[in-house]
Amino acid sequence: MKRIVIIGGVAGGMSAATRLRRLDESSEIVVVEKSGFVSYANCGLPYYIGGVISKEQDLLLQTPESLNRRFNLDVRVNSEVTAIDPVAKSVSVRNTLSGEIYSLAYDKLVLSPGATPVVPPIEGVDRAMTLRTVEDTKKIFAAVEAKPTTAAVIGGGFIGVEMAENLVHRGIKTSIIEATPQLLAPLDPEMALLVANEMSNHGVDVRLGVSASKIQPGSITLSDGNEIPAELVILAIGVRPDVSLAKSAGLEIGSRGGIVVDENNLTSNPDIYALGDAAEKKDALDESATLVPLANIANRHGRVIADHINGRTIRPVKTIGTAIVKVFDLAVASTGWNEKRLKAANIEHSAIHTHPGSHAGYYPGAETLALKLLINPKTGEIYGAQGVGKDGVDKRIDVISTAIRAGITAPELADLELAYAPPFGSAKDPVNILGYVAENIVSGLVKTAQWHEIDDFRNEEFTLLDVRTPGECAKGMITGFINIPVDEIRNRFSEIKTKKVLVTCQVGQRAHTATLLLKNLGFEPVNLDGGYHLWSNSPASKQLEKAGR
Ligand SMILES: Cc1cc2nc3c(=O)[nH]c(=O)nc-3n(C[C@H](O)[C@H](O)[C@H](O)COP(=O)(O)OP(=O)(O)OC[C@H]3O[C@@H](n4cnc5c(N)ncnc54)[C@H](O)[C@@H]3O)c2cc1C
């Protein structure tokens, strides 16, 4: 009888184990799990700490006994694999409760040990708690139950913002400290600003561009010299693949620090597979090695491994890294590449920002979405998208991630027939609108400029034109723009003294109408993408505010 040993019994490991059993009744399947729990909902852990999920039991999806009953799995918790002998094809297992060590032979080995939180060498870091396992959760939960009045979360990634929100839920005055200038690295800065604002509006003290340099009892000293109160400290600055076992077994480790696997998730050893946070993935856009520590791809690759072991045909799964997070009242999602990454890779691209309603404006409850689409301006290939808003973000980002996977171009988003009735969407869904805008760009019908490029247009060749109403302009205008409302352009275009015009309105829609009108009148217009709304909520405008301009 073939024995398959799986190291790690949560997302990737348990997906592989259950699929293996469904495909084959005869093999022996042993799951070795270091912690006391298997198949737990690690994505739900912050919400248990916050009291949103009230019963610990709800996080524990399975037990060794239930997995044995349903799938005839031999699940060994409190059991750590301490070494792999790839020649003898065996692993050493240590029972973490009794200390007993034994050897376990395998025919096939599956590595899904996950990732470990990064712990920087700062003074007092042992006072900080990290969140990865049920045991970590219990520790943090107990600390929260002790009713601290202040807390700080170091790290503004997904887990950091979720933890900050949940600590606020527990009535704790919370700060979040992020060393880079923005929260949530998968977003571009103008989108991330919306997240920082949301957190500030809910009372979180957001400290960007500073790091924690010392953690002392009750407070943290920051790199800018400030000290903030923090009776409780959570460290969430990221994770790195747990490759300790793989390394000592001589498996190939890649440029991104994860275990190298092929399209069947086989490592450099023909009898050892790896998946999940510990393994590198292939980026769907440029085929480069990448790390995507997310649950979906871990589960998917678990199935790939089980299928491969059972000789089934494999459809290789590359990753586009689609993610979503709740930040108080906002949903924040992204898929594919962001603009920072496109710029760093020197890839020509166009950005499209839109601010549509989540559903028809005349039906109660519509919320404004901020959407960003990144495309190849020549071919229309979709590189990525981001969305921030109270409602309907998940649907739009999921449709776009599906489009990326299917090779649908940005203009073709206009062709998608998406479910519509007023409570749910619009006849022209926000995804369709992104397609319309993309088609205008790719076909060369319009030219657009970005919020951070306005200074490039401040010269004698260009008139800067705001086509909103005088009432709107009275509430705020970008310096240097003149105002001619869109409805008056036909009568007043002689006031525009240059051929070239940078046009703006509130979100770019009226400016689009004005742009085509001016084009038809012989001008060379450029539409400021996202309009005044985007600019006034962007880092460019915030910098001017800071400088008192
Ligand atoms: C707090 C939190 C919230 C998250 N939220 C989301 C989310 O909302 N959406 C999302 O997509 N992803 C989320 N993730 C990430 C997601 O949980 C991971 O990407 C996914 O669980 C990875 O699966 P994995 O099998 O690689 O590792 P894991 O699920 O982490 O499982 C690895 C297991 O291996 C065990 N192990 C490690 N070494 C050994 C050893 N030597 N011997 C035996 N056992 C060992 C560990 O104890 C662990 O239980 C979250 C993660 C955390 C921690």
pLDDT digits (tens, 9 = 90+) for 430-466: 999 999 999 999 999 999 999 999 999 999 999 999 9
Structural tokens at position 322: 């689609």
pLDDT band of residue 546 (cuts 50, 70, 90) is low
Whether 399 has a pLDDT exceeding 70, the answer reads: yes
User: Residue 547 pLDDT > 70, yes or no?
Assistant: no
pLDDT of residue 373: 98
Res 14 pLDDT > 90: yes
Which of the four pLDDT bands, split at 50, 70 and 90, describes residue 549? low
Amino acid sitting at position 299: N
Atom number of ligand 1 nearest to Cα 325: 8
Tokens of residue 89, six digits: 């094809």
Residue 528 in 3-state DSSP?
A: strand
Q: What's the CA-to-centroid distance between 324 and ligand 1, angstroms?
A: 17
The pLDDT of residue 59? 87
Q: Is 61 in the pocket of ligand 1 (CB under 6 A)?
A: no
pTM above 0.85, yes or no: yes
- Is the per-residue pLDDT at 100 higher than 80? yes
Nearest to 269 by CA among 254, 245, 252, 255: 252
Rounded Cα–Cα distance for residues 61 and 359 (Å) = 35
Query: Does residue 60 register a pLDDT over 90?
Result: no
Ligand 1 pocket: which of 5, 15, 43 to mutate (most atoms <8 Å of CB)?
Answer: 43
pLDDT bin (cut points 50, 70, 90) of residue 545 is: low
Whether residue 548 is predicted with pLDDT greater than 60 in this model: the reply is: no
Q: pLDDT averaged over the chain?
A: 96
Provide the sign of the torsion angle of the four alpha carbons 13, 19, 21, 27, taken in this order.
Answer: negative
Q: Using a pLDDT cut of 90, give the percent of the chain over it.
A: 95
- Could you identify the atom of ligand 1 that is nearest to the CA of residue 276? 26
* Token pair for 207: 């400290």
Q: Which pLDDT does position 436 carry in this prediction?
A: 98
The full 3-state SS of 245-263, as one line of letters, equals HHHHCCCCECCCCCECCCC
State residue 477's pLDDT score. Answer: 96
- The answer, yes or no, to whether residue 102 has pLDDT greater than 80, is yes
Q: Whose CA is nearest to atom 6 of ligand 1?
A: 43
Query: Above 90 in pLDDT, residue 58?
Result: no
Asked if the model's pLDDT at residue 1 lies above 90, the reply is: no
pLDDT tens profile 308-363: 999 999 999 899 999 999 999 999 999 999 999 999 999 999 999 999 999 999 99
Structure tokens that stand for 12 in this block: 């990737």
Residue range 348-396, pLDDT digits in tens: 999 999 999 999 999 999 999 999 999 999 999 999 999 999 999 999 9
96-108: average pLDDT? 98
Max CA-CA distance within the chain?
89
CA of 13 to the centre of ligand 1 (A): 9
Q: By three-state DSSP, how is residue 27 classified?
A: coil
* Ligand 1, atom 15: closest residue by C-alpha: 294
Distance from the CA of 361 to the center of ligand 1, in angstroms? 41
pLDDT at res. 57: 86
Q: Which amino acid is present at 69?
A: R
pLDDT at 504 over 70: yes
The Cα–Cα gap between 498 and 516 comes to 16
Question: What's the pLDDT at 458?
Answer: 97
**DSSP string covering 206-219, please?**
EEES--EEEEETEE
Query: What are the catalytic residues?
Result: 43
Residue type present at position 113: P
